[in-house]
Amino acid sequence: MAGSLNRVTLIGNLGQDPEVRSFENGGKVCNLRIATSQTWKGRNSGERRERTEWHRVTIHAEPLVRLAEQYLRKGSKICVEGQLETRKWQDQSGQDRYTTEVVLRPYSSSLTMLDSKNDGGNNGGGSGYSDPARQSPDSGEYGSGGRPGGDLDDEIPFLMEWRI
């Protein structure tokens, strides 16, 4: 094999609202905490057991930051695709620390919302998000099927996906 691949896909729920920070130059970054859970029955006891893993996700792609800021809330079910990165930083005492996180960068990541329209996790949600490249000129910011004013049935789960 000639190369290698650094690709992470997580499907889980947000443990808290997105944390968005703005920079002086106008850029933004968004931090998410995603919980993924595994359940099984204990071999000896037959009891149902569960293990939850927490993942740090950092979004650097501006359109995905806006999407997370506007639509995601604690409890939202999402799927993210990005790269695993480890960064080095210093704590208050000057000690070197390392953090490994899933990073969503422009042109190589995606974020998909998996909640149904009425779920509380996305604060009412929307019916979809149109790719700006596919919008009709008179459809507005969200396209004809998007939020607000979408006309899809409330019982139909929706997928909002944005690939960068």
In this predicted structure, the answer to whether residue 156 has a pLDDT above a threshold of 90 is no
pLDDT digits (tens, 9 = 90+) for 67-110: 999 999 999 999 999 999 999 999 999 999 999 999 999 988 99
What structural domains and CATH numbers belong to the chain?
8-115 (2.40.50.140)
Q: What is residue 119's predicted lDDT score, i.e. its pLDDT?
A: 55
Q: What is the DSSP string of 115-152?
A: -BTT-GGGTT--S----GGG--TTS-TT-TTSSSS--S
Q: Where does the chain have alpha helices with state H?
A: 62-71
pLDDT in tens, 54-70: 999 999 999 999 999 99
Q: Is the pTM of this model over 0.75?
A: no
Q: Mean pLDDT across the stretch 38-49?
A: 90
| Residue whose token pair is 């070197």 | 96
121-141 per-position pLDDT tens digit: 444 443 333 333 333 333 333
Do the beta carbons of residue 76 and residue 16 sit within 8 Å? no
For 18-44, what is the mean pLDDT? 94
Token pair 């210093």 is at which residue? 90
For residue 1, give every residue at least 6 positions away whose Cβ sits within 8 Å of its Cβ, in sequence order, or none.
Answer: none
| Alpha carbon separation from 85 to 58, 103, 162 (Å, rounded) | 10, 7, 21
